[in-house]
Amino acid sequence: MGKSSKAYRRTIVSVGTMAFAAILGFTSPAAVADAPAALHPLDVSILFPAPKDAADLANFISVADLADAGGAPLVPDPLFQEFLAIAASDAGQVAVPGGTPAQIGLPDAVKDIRNWFVAGIRVDVGAPGLSKNVMAAFGQIPQVRLILQPVTVQGGAVKIHDRAAHMIFSFAKGKAQSQETCAIPMLSRIDPDLDHFRTALADFASLRDDLAKGSLGAASISTEGPLDVHPALRDAKARKPFRDRLVAVLGKDLSARQLGAMAAMGLPKSAPEPWIFIAMQRQPGTGKLVAVPSPALDGKATAELVRFFGDKVLPAPVSDNLNETMTTCFRLPGDRRGVSTATLLNGTASEQDTIALTATIADPSKSHFFNTDCVSCHTETRLLRSRSPTTSIEGVAEAVLPKDRWNVRNFGWGLEPGGLRPTITRRTATETDEVVKAANELLQEVQ
């Protein structure tokens, strides 16, 4: 884990759990590699507080309210229903020995797109990672990710359902380039649209600057400090103006044609566990949404689960995050070298082993979507805290670090005693360190 840039933490984003980053394709590397120290904080990681009641939802963003500059929905409802259908299909099932397959459950109210609200926004200069070794192998895809969670209202009380959707908008251009032949076929390389992405970055920087000037309904608000709920969303005067400005920025810089990848996570309809993860991609040309096999499983499985009774992680991951070289091909399971938190969940590990293993998972220069399973990225912080409570986690406010084993959220509202609450993991913080440096360098190129 790299050393934190504490002054640049609170609202600097990256691609969210890298567990679902860059499933649209790969891009040619741009000159963003190891940037110099950040020049200023940049609002690219925006976490909302959990809503308190029905009236409070006016300060939140329903994904159904988001439209592009021409008025077209950023997430068209037919596409969203296709997304839900895949999560509830055979592709979203995980076989459980001696039991029925596990699958995300979708109560009727959760199927209404109007009930899905933005819990977080994450901006990334390039998935799947920005270190030299990752970019050399995989290229760069700038992205804006919307983390959505369903909220329903009954008798004035809100219920946050323990499900999540990631809507990933990529900034890409150019024709797909041929990829080397692999034992397991790889996706095509595409070129990043850095000019368009710079415009989006500048809009987020302007939002930060206007908060500092006191132009959004409140006195000056600083976004410096450790990652936490965004300070403007905790300020009674700034909350609604800031929310409205976010809607405008997203509508200006995004469109449905950029929505190339999605991911789902959630519980079965009537059980307290397991949590199931599934990633999806829109096929180039047809736009058809399909489930994506996880490269860190067997190359065929499209869903993974974690639970805390019985077999903890299924299917068993076969990570490849300890190989010295990275490859654009998926190595066959027998050729992979890596670690996953399934080792910690399924057995007893020493404190030192826990520290070393989770540090690898939390390091985006080593672990990402193409070599590490989803469960690992969603459980490393909670496992570290439970087995090595004196180990310091820099760059994240204590109030939003996961405390309970039932909280498998990386960035959003995670399940804790008493309900779901804002959560940020160490993995998010280390990704953030990479992104803020690269984002400031990208903006500096045009100064």
Residues ≥6 apart with Cβ < 8 Å to 210: 216, 245
pLDDT in tens, 283-337: 877 889 999 998 899 878 999 999 988 889 999 999 999 987 776 566 777 788 9
Q: Is the pLDDT of residue 11 over 70?
A: no
**What pLDDT was estimated at residue 38?**
38
* Across 12-35, average pLDDT: 32
Q: What is the pLDDT of residue 177?
A: 52
Phi-psi region of 174 (alpha: psi -120 to 50; beta: other; left: phi over 0): left
pLDDT of residue 244: 97
Given this model, what pLDDT does residue 344 score?
A: 94
Q: Report the pLDDT value the prediction gives residue 34, as an integer from 0 to 100.
A: 37
- pLDDT of res. 432: 84
Mean pLDDT of 410-429: 94
**pLDDT tens per residue across span 334-387:** 788 999 999 999 887 899 999 999 999 999 999 998 899 999 999 999 999 999
185 has a pLDDT exceeding 60: no
Q: Binning pLDDT at 50, 70 and 90, where does residue 241 land? A: very high
Q: Which residues pair with 411 in a beta bridge?
A: 424
Selected residue with higher pLDDT from 199 and 23: 199
Name which of 35-44, 55-64, 286-295, 435-444 the model is least confident about: 35-44
Average pLDDT over residues 262-282: 94
Which one has a higher pLDDT value, 200 or 12? Answer: 200
If pLDDT is split at 50, 70 and 90, which confidence band does 25 have?
Answer: very low
Closest listed residue to residue 365, CA positions, set 14, 6, 89: 14
Average pLDDT over residues 231-244: 95
- Residue 240: the pLDDT is 95
Output the pLDDT for position 3. Answer: 35
- Could you say which DSSP state residue 317 is in? P
pLDDT bracket for residue 447 (50, 70, 90): low
pLDDT > 90? residue 155 = no
SS3 of 119-143? EEEEEEEEECCCCHHHHHHHCCEEE
- DSSP letter at 390 equals T
Phi, psi dihedral angles at 257 (to 5 degrees): -65, -20
On average, the pLDDT of the chain sits at 85
Q: Determine whether 111 is exposed, middle or buried from the number of CB atoms within 10 Å of its CB (0-12, 13-18, 19+).
A: middle
**How far apart, in whole angstroms, are the C-alpha atoms of residue 223 and residue 43?**
7
* The predicted structure's pLDDT at residue 443: 86
CA distance 7 to 393: 15
What are the backbone dihedrals phi and psi of residue 419, each rounded to the nearest 5 degrees, phi first?
Answer: 130, -175
What lies within 8 Å, CB to CB, of 318 at 6+ separation is 296, 297, 298, 333, 336, 338
Residue burial 287-299, b: 16+ Cβ < 10 Å; e: rest? eebebbbbbbbeb
What average pLDDT does this structure show over 74-98? 96
pLDDT for the residue numbered 5: 38
Predicted local confidence at residue 40, as pLDDT:
45
Average pLDDT over residues 225-248: 95
Q: What is the C-alpha to C-alpha distance for residues 239 and 52, in angstroms, rounded to an integer? A: 14
